[in-house]
A and B are shown apart, each in its own frame.
Chain A
Amino acid sequence: MTNSKLTETLTFECETGNYHTFCPISCVAWLYQKIEDSFFLVIGTKTCGYFLQNALGVMIFAEPRYAMAELEEADISAQLNDYKELKRLCLQIKQDRNPSVIVWIGTCTTEIIKMDLEGMAPRLEAEIQTPIVVARANGLDYAFTQGEDTVLAAMVQRCPSNAPEQNQIEKKSLVLFGSLPTNVATQLNLELERCGIQVAGWLPSQRYADLPVLNQNVYVCGINPFLSRTATTLMRRRKCKLISAPFPIGPDGTRAWLEKICSVFNVAPINLIERERLIWDSLEDYITLLRGKSVFFMGDNLLEISLARFLVRCGMIVYEIGIPYLDKRFQSAELQLLEKTCSEMNVAMPRIVEKPDNYNQIQRIRELQPDLAITGMAHANPLEARGINTKWSVEFTFAQIHGFTNARDILELVTRPLRRNKALENLGWNQLVKM
């Protein structure tokens, strides 16, 4: 399907519909692994517990550094003293695990009963002598990956303002924020080192004690699109300077990200264009499978804009990008790059729909019949049964997708349904629902 009239700019809509995504407390799943001396206490109800049990399955038993503080009816009706209960739990945690920090995750229920977690935490911290960070990751305000955003924003307060050595104060330094598996973080550090830039620290760091120094001389740059609150907190509370760039997803995004950082630090990037070209060459076999094919993002993990931009550069046509929440300022560089990429690749601009309505999207998918739909696990199987190739979106959150080194991994995920279903097509196993 070709669109002869190309729109000049991106169109944004907000459907305010009923859409499916994960609860933001899911961030506990990767954050507790990243921050190795942390303990996450989720203060919620049975519903939260069921979700964690299902989603995290095996990990519940593998030396967990997270737990549920389950609110019962007595807690809700204020019959039990919540300070006492939390103190009891935290003392037990300290005794069993001795973490360097306890993170309290507030949920929908604590929001509605207006439990004063921020008021209780400092008192309790003083009593038990263990830092307590409060983050409100609830489904009333946030979606899925934004849980990480609230936790990091809360941790900003705990970062030191000054390095122990005095002569560091005047120099410009770079701190990156966003949770990545340590080896990917190392890869990005290496890329910057090659350009002559030392990364002073990461938020979050692997150990709570290693939180980076933050002050007005620090430049910060995010590596994931859903971290807008963390960015705002860094700028307003710690006076850091935010480097706004496209995100390092895909070789084009990684190069743009590196170039922007280099320009802020007045360093000429060495060999980046050549490096990017080499990566594109190595991806050619996967790109051949994608060229000219269309894709539809139903949207749930807020990575959609960056992924769409990368896929457009691979030669795909993006019909629609659904996304739970779009901070246009934080993603401005990414959005600009998306526009530029679309016009350079000569494809129509995708329609961007915030808070999409899944039912309406399914109707649109039926009409448009895209070659690939990237959707959540609630809709993937039914769409496959109706002959639409799908890629379940959650995998992008847990796979390693940042940097030059991992570009191939993204395409491995994106092409997998196309490769698998091509084999099944010859068998006629396309429509598996009686129509």
Chain B
Amino acid sequence: MHAPLGDDYFNVMRSMLERERDFTPVTASIVDRHVLARGSQEKVIENITRKDKEENPDLIILTPTCTSSILQEDLQNFVNRAGLDSKSDVILADVNHYRVNELQAADRTLEQIIRFYLEKARSQYNEPLRKTEKPSANILGIFTLGFHNQHDCRELKRLLTDLGIVINQILPEGGSVTNINELPKAWFNLIPYREVGLMAANYLKNEYDMPYVAVTPMGLLDTENCIREIVDIVKSSDTSYNFDFETYIDTQTRFISQAAWFSRSIDCQNLTGKKAVVFGDATHAASITKILAREMGIRVSCSGTYCKHDADWFREQVDGFCDEVLITDDHTQVADMIARIEPAAIFGTQMERHIGKRLDIPCGVISAPVHIQNFPLGFRPFLGYEGTNQISDLVYNSFTLGMEDHLLEIFGGHDTKEVITKSLSTDSDLAWAPEALTELQRIPGFVRGKIKRNTEKFAREKNCNLITLEIMFAAKEAVGA
């Protein structure tokens, strides 16, 4: 990363959000005044060759950040020169930070890397391409910091295995660049998320005639569609493939996954016609909208996405399943829309969750932007048949907890104990001086009671009956002694 101090914030996100056990393989080649004055060539090349020796990677990718791209230095030249001296391959990530968002950049860079290694393999070996004997697939688009990507990947592997399909390569997470040349051996590519992986899939289709399935298997109906597309592709290459997928789909839908039964069960009837708002990346927002509308009978008042570059596809997908569509990356517009519609629940990103907190509307998180809560340790896919269970849970809990809160409000809260302790404390013979009271109010609510009691106890021990600021601070100091 060719960047000033602080741009490598990514390392913190990966280490803390994903709870990654290893050092993040990203280093910032720091851009400072010296670099601005003298040019970055020396420093960048030196850093690349240094990392080559220290870490022995197979591939080093140099990426500018928005600051360094304004400098318009010839980074491609540096990459070429560094490549001469290093054992590893060196590539420059070809993205313009002002024109694309992070999803488009990831999509583009993945394609760039795959293209690089396949062209390299083609120029070195001249073997004819041999497909695997058994039907196989590559999964493209599983990312670090992707929304529930790790869990989804596990579920996809299980699904493909159930269908008798071997997993060839999974990229990029857990994959290795040395295996990229194996990609064309698979029978087809599976692209679970629209945002990342499509460019690579198209490249592989054009160059190697590899078909791909880009139906996101989220929800019972779309999982079925995805399976049918997969089966069509496999059958067209191998007519002897005779897996009884009709029975499989039917059993999974009606008996193994609990989601269909949930939709039929009587307490789900209470959700019929309830208003919801959906917002997120194109893949998740579109899928959740369809699930809510088709599979659960919930009314989606508004469905939206911040993936403006994919607006057409999005509109087409949710057409008929929602009352209005909102395409924007301005979160205040989303907030205004939610305030206007006043849904019973929101299904959005962490940004919408905060809007929901302000407006007192429950929210289930279904897409990035994310917080630490969206990296659960337990197995929580959104895709496949297990995913349908997780989504049903999320939907149900969001609506029910919302109901619970409203009932509590109507019936006056959790009850009697607080009233009793309130009256006890007013019996105290201690007075609080005004500045001390102001100070007490500044303390966050959830610790205030404890601090008040501690201070009063200290004051009693010292035989004071007026609590001043000095006594408050002295009480804090005395805690350890």
Contacts and interface: CB of A to CB of B under 8 A. Distances in A.
Interface of A: 18-26, 45-47, 50-51, 53-55, 57-58, 60-61, 72-73, 76, 108-109, 112-113, 138-144, 182-183, 186-187, 190, 278-279, 281-283, 285-286, 324, 359, 362, 376-382, 385, 404-405, 408, 432-433
Interface residues of B, number: 57
B79 interface: no
30 contacts: A19-B30, A22-B9, A24-B6, A25-B6, A45-B67, A47-B66, A47-B67, A61-B357, A61-B358, A76-B70, A108-B4, A108-B67, A139-B6, A139-B67, A140-B36, A140-B67, A143-B5, A281-B481, A282-B477, A282-B480, A324-B5, A359-B54, A377-B12, A377-B15, A377-B16, A378-B24, A381-B16, A382-B22, A382-B23, A408-B477
Given A60-B354, A144-B6, A182-B442, 9 more contacts: A18-B47, A45-B98, A46-B97, A47-B66, A57-B350, A73-B98, A112-B71, A282-B478, A433-B21
Interface string B15-57: 1100111111001111111001000000000010000001000
A112 B67 CA distance: 8
Given A47-B66, A60-B354, A381 B36 contact: no
The 7 closest A-B pairs by CB, nearest first: A23-B6, A139-B4, A378-B11, A282-B481, A139-B5, A282-B480, A61-B354
B439 A404 contact: no
Query: Which of B5, B32, B70, B358 neighbours the largest number of chain A CB atoms within 10 Å of its CB?
Result: B5
A140 B35 CA distance: 9
A74 to B, nearest CB: 9
B15 A379 contact: yes
Nearest to A76: B70
B97 A408 contact: no
Interface of B: 3-9, 11-13, 15-16, 19-24, 27-33, 36, 47, 54, 65-67, 70-71, 97-99, 101-102, 350-351, 354-355, 357-358, 369, 371, 439, 442, 469-470, 473, 476-481
Given A140-B33, A381-B19, A21 B477 contact: no
A133 B445 CA distance: 34
Given A76-B98, A139-B4, A405-B476, A378 B70 contact: no
A186 B20 contact: no
B71 to A, nearest CB: 7
Nearest to B474: A405
A76 B470 CA distance: 54
B47 A73 contact: no
A211 to B, nearest CB: 22
Contact of A18 (B22, B23, B27, B351): B27
B27 A359 contact: yes
Contacts of A50: 9, 102
Most B CB within 10 A of own CB, among A54, A385, A408:
A54
A282 B31 CA distance: 46
Contacts of A285: 480
Nearest to B481: A282
Given A18-B28, A45-B98, A378-B12, A404 B7 contact: no
A408 B23 contact: no
Contacts of B442: 182-183
